[in-house]
Amino acid sequence: MTAPIVSSSQAGTPSGTPGRNGAGRSLASRLARALPIPAGAGMARTLVYRNVTAWKHALPTLISGFFEPVFYLFSLGVGIGALVGDVPVGGGRTVDYAQYVAPALLASSAMNGAVFDTTTNVFFKLKYLRLYDSVLATPLGPRDIAVGEVAWALLRGTGYAAAFLVVMALAGVIISWWALLALPAAVLIGLSFAGVGMAATTFMRSWQDFDLVQLAILPMFLFSATFYPLSTYPEPLQAVVQVTPLYHAVGITRGLCLGQVGWPMLGHVVYLLVLGLTGMFVAARRLERLLLS
> What does the alpha-carbon distance between residue 202 and residue 204 come to, in Å, rounded to a whole number?
6
- Is 252's pLDDT higher than 90? yes
Residue 20 is assigned to a structural domain of this protein: no
- Residues with Cβ within 8 Å of residue 24, at least 6 apart in sequence: none
Q: Which domain does 86 fall in, by range?
A: 36-292
Span 104-139, pLDDT tens digits: 999 988 898 888 889 988 999 998 888 888 888 888
Residue 23 is assigned to a structural domain of this protein: no
- How many other CB atoms are found less than 10 A from the CB of residue 254? 24
> What does the alpha-carbon distance between residue 212 and residue 183 come to, in Å, rounded to a whole number?
29
Residue 68 is assigned to a structural domain of this protein: yes
Angle (nearest 5°) at CA 163 between 146 and 191: 25
Position 17 scores a pLDDT of 46
Span 43-58, pLDDT tens digits: 677 888 888 887 776 6
* Percent composition of the chain: helix, strand, coil (DSSP 3-state, to 5): 75, 5, 20
- Name the nearest CA neighbour of 184 among 110, 113, 118, 105: 110
Radius of gyration for the chain, computed over Cα atoms and rounded to the nearest angstrom:
24
> Which of the four pLDDT bands, split at 50, 70 and 90, describes residue 42?
low
Residue 199 is assigned to a structural domain of this protein: yes
Q: Count CA atoms within 13 Å of residue 150 on its CB side.
A: 34
Predicted model pTM: 0.80
Residue 17 is assigned to a structural domain of this protein: no
DSSP 74: I
- Name the nearest CA neighbour of 52 among 124, 129, 154: 154
Q: CA dihedral in degrees (29, 31, 284, 215; nearest 10)?
A: 160
- Give the residue ranges of DSSP H helices in 117-225: 122-127, 131-135, 142-171, 182-201, 210-223
Q: Counting beta carbons within 10 angstroms of the beta carbon of residue 38, is it exposed (0 to 12), middle (13 to 18) or buried (19 or more)?
A: buried
- Is 90's pLDDT higher than 70? yes
Position 185 scores a pLDDT of 94
What's the total number of domains in the chain? 1
- Is 40's pLDDT higher than 80? no
Position 270 scores a pLDDT of 96
Phi, psi of 157 (to 5 degrees): -65, -40
Distance from the first to the final alpha carbon of the chain: 52
Residue 3 is assigned to a structural domain of this protein: no
Residue 2 is assigned to a structural domain of this protein: no
> What does the alpha-carbon distance between residue 38 and residue 287 come to, in Å, rounded to a whole number?
12
> Which of the four pLDDT bands, split at 50, 70 and 90, describes residue 245?
very high
Residue 264 is assigned to a structural domain of this protein: yes
